[in-house]
Structure 1
Amino acid sequence: MRKRHAFLSETVKGYTSLEEYARDKEEWFAILGIALTLGDDCISLYNYIEYNNYEDYYVVPTADGRLAVSHVIWWQDPYCANDVFNIFTEKSVDDEDILTTY
């Protein structure tokens, strides 16, 4: 997860607009098999792993106007339960933390 987070974090460098990032990266992510969805407050990057496992990362605007990849993801845990999870603290969190934890 942390390697995927680092990879995705490299893709947001230099961006300040969710719309511009989505426009520039949508086709590229589609080729990689990652579904990019532009929302009102963030961009979802849905990554299907295998056997119904997934990780859903989020590109969010930061307080200083740049974009970042949230430390909080939706994922399917080893017990097949959907969970909102901070990949650095390794704790379940609320989905509201997606926009504030980066």
Structure 2
Amino acid sequence: MENAELYKLAERLKETREYLGVSQQVVSEFLGISRAAISAIESGKRKVNALELERFSKLYKFPVSYFYGEEQSDDETVSLLARTAKGLTEDDKKQVLKFAQFLQNIGNENTSKKGE
């Protein structure tokens, strides 16, 4: 793996962990490696092996391809949304649905304005 790819992967792992609000300690316990190793991975100083990447994927509920910066297809994105929503309360699911519908309506408005 080239240095640029290593740093891209490291950055994506760190951003995802921070976005999800998970501590390095929780990640280290889940992966079975030290917190210092997580820090080294996230700073690009240590390579992540395939098994560790699979565990990151499982913990963060993102496909491995996401961490390499690959674009997800609509089907993968919908599946990811569904898996993520499983842990939400019914009220939270309704709020997510309302927000998705809001975004869809905004997108439709922007599309129709471009055609004017």
Q: TM-score, normalised by structure 1?
A: 0.27
* Structure ranking higher in helix proportion: 2
Q: Which has the larger radius of gyration?
A: 2
* Structure ranking higher in strand proportion: 1
